[in-house]
Structure 1
Amino acid sequence: MENLSSEAAPLLVFLLPGFLSAWIFYGLTSHPKPGQFERTVEALVFTFVVHAATEFVELILQLIGEGWAIGSWTSTSQIVCSVVLAILLGAAVAAAVNKDTFHSWLRKRGFTSRTSHPSEWFCVLDKNPAYVVLQLTDGRRLTGWPKEWPVNPSTGQFYIQMPAWITEGGDPVDLVALDGILIHATDVRWVEVFPEELP
């Protein structure tokens, strides 16, 4: 048993940066977590990138150290460097995904028509901040400003601020006493999005 734990500890230290990057990525984006196998593969890819970057940092510091020595590169320095790089990598990839950086660059060059957002639903509401009308499954209509919205149409809730019910005649009935209303995504049949500038 002691032999197993002594072999597992270095493996966990080796894999930690990749799992840390993946954890930060999913914590900072709206992407739903995939299955265990996909998450493990992503963590291994992150691990490879972090360890390659750590080796590069070590090489650069050794070259600098030939002229101006600060200290020696130890296993502790390597662990600290890999953890810092893992945090930076996870945050950078999350920021790029949230801003649609990779996919927008690929769309401009004709490689894809997709976005980096988890669904078309989320993409439209994220890229076009505007008032919406929620057509509910029971026939009622609610308008307002979507402060929060679900990642996909089958789960989660809308949080609509400045809500107003729309009567059958098309007149809004403002709910001025409320800060907002939570509406479950499954209760919404479709979403109408107004232009950014209301007439």
Structure 2
Amino acid sequence: MCGCPFLTLITSILIAIIFGILFSYFANTNKIHKYLRDKNITRETSYSSEWSGSFLDNVTFVVLHFDDERRLYGWPIEWPSDPEQGHFFIADPAWIHENGKEERIPGVKSILVDTKGIKWVEFLENTWEKEDE
């Protein structure tokens, strides 16, 4: 090249950083797999599991249904990558009673919930967008 090893090193590092960021972006946003699905080349996603894809594709409030029939409503800040282990970090939590009424938990801003004991997760409609119109 130009005989300047320092310039070559800096250029290589910058190219590696740019490619790393690009590949990370495409791997974590499912864009390449979405394009390939649209062309009927694959049916796969770039997500590690259906579990991860469901949370990333459904940015909304959730209801956690417990094995003992309790239900917890809130905004998922974080969720486990594996449905068998880990914790949900839920903001603005509220218990939902059998009659459908919500009961906010006084003084609680967020709550950490173990996945053990969770039967399923319900993703709610984006009703706040309709109210803003």
| TM-score range for the pair, normalised by the shorter chain length | 0.7 to 0.9
* Match among 107, 112, 115 for residue 182 of structure 1: 112
TM-score (norm 2): 0.85
RMSD of the TM alignment (CA)?
A: 1.9
Residue 100 of structure 1: aligned partner: 30
Specify every segment of 5 or more residues in structure 1 that has no aligned partner in the other structure, as ranges: 1-57, 59-71
Q: Is residue 130 of structure 1 aligned with residue 60 of structure 2?
A: yes
TM-score (norm 1): 0.59
- When structure 1 is superposed on structure 2, of 99-108 and 132-141 the one drifting more is 132-141
Specify every segment of 5 or more residues in structure 2 that has no aligned partner in the other structure, as ranges: none
Question: 1:170 aligns to what SS in structure 2?
Answer: coil
Kindly provide the CA deviation profile for residues 121-156 of structure 1, in whole angstroms up to 9, marking residues without a partner as x.
Answer: 111111111111101233321011112112221232
Cα deviation, residue 170, structure 1: 2.8
Cα deviation, residue 176, structure 1: 4.1
For residues 127 and 41 of structure 2, the distance between their equivalents in structure 1, rounded to whole angstroms, comes to 32
For residues 155 and 89 of structure 1, the distance between their equivalents in structure 2, rounded to whole angstroms, comes to 33
Residue 45 of structure 1: aligned partner: none
Name the larger-Rg structure: 1
Residue 91 of structure 1: aligned partner: 21
- When structure 1 is superposed on structure 2, of 118-127 and 102-111 the one drifting more is 118-127
Residue 80 of structure 1: aligned partner: 10
More helix, by proportion: 1
Question: Is the alpha carbon distance of 1:74 and 1:187 closer, same or farther for their aligned partners in structure 2, counting shifts above 3 Å?
Answer: farther
Letter in 2 for 1:161: A
Cα deviation, residue 106, structure 1: 0.4
Letter in 1 for 2:78: E
For residues 117 and 16 of structure 2, the distance between their equivalents in structure 1, rounded to whole angstroms, comes to 40
